[in-house]
C-alpha cells in the first residue's frame, strides 16, 4: 500500500441526524462522494463496544456501535473508498489521558478481558465482512501510551494488543 489520503468520518451519521449537509463547488452532495471526488481513498471509523449510557443516551463523538459502523463502512465502500477500523476498546474517547474499560468488561480479570476484546474484534470484523465490507486496515487500540481498556501495566496492555492483533 502506498500513500493513503484518509479522513475520519465517524460522526457522519450523528451529524446527518442533526441536519448537516455538505457542499463542493457550491453544489450539495453526499459527504462520501465529495470526499472521493477530492481524492480521499480511505475512511477511518472509530468503534466502541457500547457508546450509550444506562438510559440509552449516546455519549457523543459519533456513537459508533457496530451497527453504525457497518452503515458508515458500507457508504465508504459504495463510494469507492477503503475502511480503516479504529478499535477504541472503550465506550467513549480513548486517548492518552483516558483509557476506560468498557462497561461490559468492568470487573473482569485480565484473561476474561483479553477474551472479550478478542471476541469483540473478531465479531466486528466478521459482521463487516458479512455486510460486504472487507476492512483494509485495522487500528488495535487508540492512543495507548498510558494504557488500554482500563489496563495500565505494560505487560497487560501487551497481552491485550496481542489478542486484538490475533483476532484481526
DSSP codes joined into one string, 12-68: HHHHHHTT--EEETTEEE-HHHHHHHTT--EEEEEE-S--B-TTS-B-STT---HHH
Q: What is the pTM of this model?
A: 0.94
Which of helix, strand or coil describes residue 94?
coil
Question: CB–CB of 149/105 below 8 Å?
Answer: yes
User: Using CA atoms, how far apart are residues 164 and 168, in angstroms rounded to an integer?
Assistant: 6
Question: CB–CB of 94/151 below 8 Å?
Answer: no
What percentage of the chain has pLDDT greater than the value 70?
99
pLDDT for 60: 83
Report the candidate in 98, 92, 83, 115 with the shortest Cα–Cα distance to residue 9. Answer: 83
Whether 2 shows a pLDDT value over 90: the answer reads: no
pLDDT for 61: 78
pLDDT for 151: 96
| Residues linked to residue 22 through DSSP beta bridges, in sequence order | 29
Length of the chain in residues, anyone?
Answer: 168
Per DSSP, the chain holds a count of helices (H) and strands (E) of: 5, 6
What percentage of the chain has pLDDT greater than the value 90?
90
Query: Residue range 138-167: average pLDDT?
Result: 97
Query: Residue range 11-26: average pLDDT?
Result: 95
Neighbours of 92 (CB within 10 A): 19
pLDDT for 137: 97
Residue 62 confidence class, pLDDT cut points 50, 70, 90: confident
Question: CB–CB of 141/161 below 8 Å?
Answer: yes
Amino acid at each position: 500500500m502506498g500513500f493513503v489520503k484518509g479522513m475520519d468520518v465517524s460522526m457522519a451519521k450523528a451529524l446527518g441526524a442533526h441536519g448537516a449537509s455538505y457542499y463542493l463547488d457550491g453544489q450539495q452532495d453526499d459527504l462520501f462522494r465529495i470526499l472521493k471526488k477530492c481524492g480521499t481513498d480511505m475512511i477511518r471509523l472509530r468503534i466502541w463496544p457500547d457508546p450509550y449510557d444506562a438510559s440509552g443516551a449516546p455519549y457523543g463523538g459519533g456513537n459508533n456501535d457496530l451497527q453504525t459502523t457497518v452503515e458508515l463502512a458500507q457508504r465508504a465502500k459504495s463510494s469507492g473508498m477503503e475502511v480503516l477500523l479504529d478499535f477504541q476498546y472503550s465506550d467513549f474517547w480513548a486517548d492518552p489521558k483516558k483509557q476506560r474499560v468498557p462497561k461490559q468488561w468492568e470487573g473482569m480479570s485480565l484473561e476474561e478481558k483479553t477474551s472479550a476484546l478478542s471476541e469483540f474484534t473478531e465479531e466486528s470484523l466478521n459482521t463487516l465482512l458479512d455486510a460486504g465490507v472487507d476492512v483494509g486496515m485495522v487500528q488495535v487500540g487508540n492512543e495507548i501510551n498510558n494504557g488500554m481498556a482500563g489496563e495500565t501495566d505494560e505487560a497487560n496492555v501487551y497481552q491485550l494488543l496481542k489478542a486484538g492483533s490475533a483476532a484481526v
